[in-house]
């Protein structure tokens, strides 16, 4: 393979730049040419003047990006790429630009795009990047650690004010399809209760009971961490939960939705290192003429699966982490 393309797609995640850098430099070291494809699959389906959508990347094109959140290639959703005509248009754009394989960095929607492009004759390797850690085929997705640290620092600040006023702070964190951010930040911030869509035993009533019992034990302020998936599944919001807690326990309660602030910021060391490892491996696979695969992390080793196999996997929240949270948050 002489020329590869690289794109970022779907939601952005801190560490995507580190993956772009690793892919670019590994490929250049192997003597390949690297083309950056801009704005996700849009760069393939509806290229503007081709100088705007697809640009050659050199060693220095990816200097000084490692420490930046977001993605230098921009990212987008591209509904035009979902039907087969869109994918074929993408194949044609690849041919016109000499692109023989593509590294796709994104979530599992982006994996589907990579699979379809592979099936139409342009081998792709997908790299999991999403702050939610919601991809079953990998123990870790690029951006997760940075988002956790951002959420943790913000919840620590909320604790200061909750503590000063003897309040309860209800904090909604991101994670529509996975409660990982809630579970991990909940443990790290000493949450009294952690509510996720995956664990049915942890309800608002459960949180209220824990507030009451820990209050009897001398606790004066409370953090309740709620995942986005929990509020979406129950058609409630953090404000409603705070009101319910206040009405039932008498503890003054405030709600905060952390939102998109969790998606930005300087990637942590973990995100930079994992992104570099994924990027390096993705290029190795393409140079071995492999495609239609996704890389991942399993117990700190790099693994790879066929994309369809990866998409069929199921993910569960770590029950033991829940048990730990329950045991030590009194």
Active site (catalytic) residues = 132
Q: Least distance to ligand ADP from the beta carbon of 75, Å?
A: 8
Q: Least distance to ligand ADP from the beta carbon of 80, Å?
A: 7
Alpha carbon separation from 165 to 145, 153, 238 (Å, rounded) = 30, 19, 19
Total number of residues shown for the chain: 330
Site string for ligand ADP, 93-112 (x = CB under 6 A): -------------xxxxx-x
Rounded to whole angstroms, the Cα distance separating 25 from 18 reads 11
- In the complex with ligand ADP, the residue whose CB is nearer, 127 or 194, is 127
Rounded to whole angstroms, the Cα distance separating 267 from 260 reads 15
Q: Least distance to ligand ADP from the beta carbon of 44, Å?
A: 9
Q: Is 10 one of the binding residues for ligand ADP (CB under 6 A)?
A: yes
For residue 69, what are its two tokens? 């959140």
Q: Least distance to ligand ADP from the beta carbon of 82, Å?
A: 4
- The single residue among 27, 93, 116, 275 that binds ligand ADP, judged by CB under 6 A, is 116
- Confirm if 5 and 94 have CB atoms less than 8 A apart: yes
Ordered DSSP codes for 10-27: SS--TTHHHHHHHHHHHH
- In the complex with ligand ADP, the residue whose CB is nearer, 86 or 101, is 86
- The single residue among 81, 202, 230, 278 that binds ligand ADP, judged by CB under 6 A, is 81
Total residues at interface with ligand ADP (CB under 6 A)? 19
Rounded to whole angstroms, the Cα distance separating 242 from 256 reads 9
- In the complex with ligand ADP, the residue whose CB is nearer, 40 or 186, is 40
């Amino acid at each position: 393979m002489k020329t590869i393309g690289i794109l970022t797609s779907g939601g952005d995640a801190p560490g995507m730049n580190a993956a772009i850098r690793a892919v670019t430099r590994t490929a250049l070291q192997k003597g390949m040419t690297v083309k950056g494809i801009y704005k996700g699959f849009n760069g393939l389906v509806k290229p503007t003047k081709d100088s705007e959508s697809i640009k050659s990347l050199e060693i220095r094109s990816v200097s000084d990006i490692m420490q930046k959140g977001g993605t230098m290639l921009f990212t987008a959703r591209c509904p035009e790429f979902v039907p087969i005509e869109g994918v074929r248009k993408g194949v044609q754009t690849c041919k016109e630009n000499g692109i023989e394989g593509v590294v796709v960095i994104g979530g599992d929607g982006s994996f589907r795009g990579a699979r379809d492009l592979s099936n139409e004759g342009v081998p792709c390797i997908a790299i999991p990047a999403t702050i939610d850690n919601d991809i079953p085929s990998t123990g870790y997705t690029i951006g997760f650690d940075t988002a956790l640290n951002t959420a943790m620092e913000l919840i620590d600040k909320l604790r200061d004010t909750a503590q000063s006023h003897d309040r309860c702070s209800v904090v909604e964190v991101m994670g529509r399809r996975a409660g990982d951010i809630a579970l991990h930040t909940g443990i790290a911030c000493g949450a009294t209760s952690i509510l996720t869509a995956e664990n049915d035993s942890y309800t608002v009533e459960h949180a209220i009971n824990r507030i009451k019992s820990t209050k009897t034990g001398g606790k004066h302020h409370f953090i309740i961490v709620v995942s986005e998936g929990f509020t979406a599944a129950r058609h409630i919001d953090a404000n409603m939960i705070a009101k319910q807690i206040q009405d039932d326990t008498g503890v003054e309660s405030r709600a905060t939705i952390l939102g998109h602030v969790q998606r930005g910021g300087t990637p942590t060391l973990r995100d930079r290192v994992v992104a570099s490892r994924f990027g390096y491996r993705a290029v190795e696979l393409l140079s071995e003429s492999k495609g239609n695969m996704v890389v991942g992390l399993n117990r700190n080793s790099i693994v790879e699966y066929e994309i369809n196999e990866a998409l069929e996997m199921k993910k569960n929240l770590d029950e033991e982490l829940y048990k730990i949270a329950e045991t030590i948050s009194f």
